[in-house]
């Protein structure tokens, strides 16, 4: 088990077509977001600082490795939650990086919102401002279990 503190480390990401919606959402949630440590990919972070007034730790832009940087922070225990306004209708040149981010977030049991509705649910969660026990994933045990399941399928 890993205890996540009352102050969360939240990554904010938005694809280009979703940046205006992210800004609007962040303005509506500014008072709550300010209670937490925030980081995000390049342009999204810059816009949230300049247009909303949020203090952000800036990663690189998504196509230049920002999604991978956030994924690395997850594996190091430095991200507790992700709000990602994903554009499902536009092909992204860094789609493999996005898939890697989603994969590592899933592996580490990180709450992740991919749209505004889910973001609202996360922001209204009773756990947002309380400690939360997140299960650690035992990768060796998971791999062993999957090997055994695969053997049973033969």
Taking only the tens place, the pLDDT of each residue in 71-123 is 999 999 999 999 999 998 888 888 889 999 999 998 889 999 999 999 999 99
Evaluate whether 15 touches 42 at the Cβ level (below 8 Å).
no
Instruction: Please check whether residue 38 is in contact with residue 52, taking contact to mean a CB–CB distance below 8 angstroms.
Output: no
Q: Is 109 a catalytic residue?
A: no
154 has pLDDT over 70:
no
CB environment 95-115: b (16+ within 10 A), e (fewer) = eebbeebbebbeebebbbbee
Give CA–CA dist 135/84, Å, rounded: 22
| Rounded-to-integer distance, Cα 11 and Cα 99, Å | 16
First to last CA, the chain: 34
Averaged pLDDT of the chain: 92
pLDDT at 150 over 90: no
**CA 52 from centroid of its chain's CA atoms:** 19
The catalytic residue among 16, 20, 67, 95 is 67
Q: How far apart are CA 38 and CA 8, in angstroms?
A: 8
């Amino acid at each position: 088990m890993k205890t996540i503190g009352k102050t969360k480390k939240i990554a904010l990401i938005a694809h280009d077509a979703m940046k205006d919606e992210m800004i609007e959402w962040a303005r509506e949630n500014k008072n709550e977001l300010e209670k937490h440590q925030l980081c995000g990919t390049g342009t999204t972070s810059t816009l949230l600082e300049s247009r909303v007034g949020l203090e952000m730790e800036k990663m690189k832009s998504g196509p230049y490795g920002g999604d991978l940087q956030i994924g690395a922070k997850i594996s190091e225990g430095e991200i507790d939650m992700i709000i990602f306004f994903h554009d499902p209708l536009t092909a992204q040149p860094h789609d493999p990086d996005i898939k890697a981010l989603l994969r590592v977030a899933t592996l580490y049991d990180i709450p992740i919102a991919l749209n505004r509705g889910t973001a609202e649910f996360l922001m209204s969660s009773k756990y947002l401002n309380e400690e939360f026990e997140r299960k650690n994933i035992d990768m060796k045990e998971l791999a062993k279990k999957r090997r055994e399941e695969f053997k049973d399928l033969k």
